[in-house]
Amino acid sequence: MRARFVLIILILLGLTAGLTACGTEEEPAPAPAAPKVVGYFAGWGVYARDFQVKDLDAGGAASRLTHLLYAFGKVTGGKCTVADRWADYEKPIDAASSVDGVADAGAELRGNIGQLRKLKKKHPGLRVLWSFGGWTGSAGFTEAARDPDAFAASCHDLLTDPRWTGVFDGIDVDWEYPNACGLKCDKSGPDALARMLGSLRSAFGPDAVITAAVPADVSKLTATDYRAAAGSADWLSAMTYDYSGAGGDDPAKAQKTAPHSPLTTYPGIARETANTSATVDELLGLGVPASKVLLGIGFYGRGWTGVSAAEPGGDASGPAAGRYEKGLEDYQVLIRRCPPTGVVAGTAYAFCGSQWWSYDTPGTIRTKMAYARSKALGGAFVWELSGDTPQSDLLTAVADGLS
């Protein structure tokens, strides 16, 4: 009798363990988050470039993006403010330039923001963020950092303005650079960005998308606590481009050709850490989760003139001519005018006549996206969408390469 009782207990325990094990086995593992495909749309592009919000839909970009960042708002007096009222929400859009083919009328929301509303209606899965700052617009962050709560409140008030309710799903901070030097130098302290993003998260709530662009220069990455900053952000966008270029304050940059967005180091590189892999490794080494790092891709090239050598490292006399800026040109122009003649460190270069350009192509982008996947990064972002071909060849390579 006693032996039978013990046997029954053992059977019951075995059944319980089996049920527990089965339950554990049946619990699905959490699915990895879908990679982010993020693109900046420059508000000023509607002028000389004639790149309209409609072009995002017509060229297929809107269907490939997960997030669109509208650049830039201003930071003035420690607050988020509008940068260009005319382009942002006052300019009437005619039927030919409108996302839905209908011209603006009456008191309807106009300009780029009005078109963004129409774009979201046509692509309901697309999330739109308003980006503030940028290279020429970052000086105001120093004052904003003195009272991050007041800054965050002003940003929330602006993004939720009744005139464009529902257009913006969050905010992007493009501070170049916190506690370091960009166009101007900042000394707000290593925790300034983290405090600012924390205040934005408190003001906007858990469902808003809060992001920040971060430098590629490893020396600047150590000036700010990016691990803490990542705690309140959905992701950090690593600006892994412009490692070199013709012109600027460094005379050496105008004398030697070099790829501006190398994936890895290469023989003759001026600085061993001036490449994408070094930037990513530094961010991960600082404790930023890989899933919160986005790889940056430039949709443009950097170029030199007075060049006689086809390989990188050749002598140059200065920056090549560009339509809007010396030493810079869009991919869609370069691929026709100066097609690639070689690849170095995972990016393309082109030698044509006396000019030498470096830029990414669909092929080199696929290589970079494979690298992003190998590092389990959160995705990629692009600066900026007007540089792509009308049929979105580069963005397609980004989206397909991440999938």
Tokens found for residue 194: 């983290």
Count other C-beta atoms under 10 Å from residue 100's C-beta: 13
- In contact, 210 and 151? CB cutoff 8 Å: no
Give how far the C-alpha of residue 288 lies from the chain's centroid of Cα atoms, to the nearest Å.
Answer: 16
Residue 176 bears catalytic tag: yes
Single out the catalytic residue among 25, 27, 143, 176. 176
Task: Give the angle 211-129-383 at the CA atoms, nearest 5°.
Answer: 75
**Dist CA 172 CA 175 (whole Å):** 9
Q: Residue 392's closest CA among 50, 54, 64?
A: 64
Tokens found for residue 364: 């080199």
State how far the alpha carbon of 363 is from the alpha carbons of 348, 349, 394, in Å: 9, 12, 9
Tokens found for residue 377: 């990064």
Q: How many residues does the structure list for the chain?
A: 403
**Dist CA 187 CA 208 (whole Å):** 29
Q: Residue 197's closest CA among 166, 178, 173?
A: 173
List Cβ neighbours of 105 (8 Å cut-off, separation of 6 or more).
none
Give how far the C-alpha of residue 179 lies from the chain's centroid of Cα atoms, to the nearest Å.
Answer: 21
Mind telling me the catalytic residues?
176
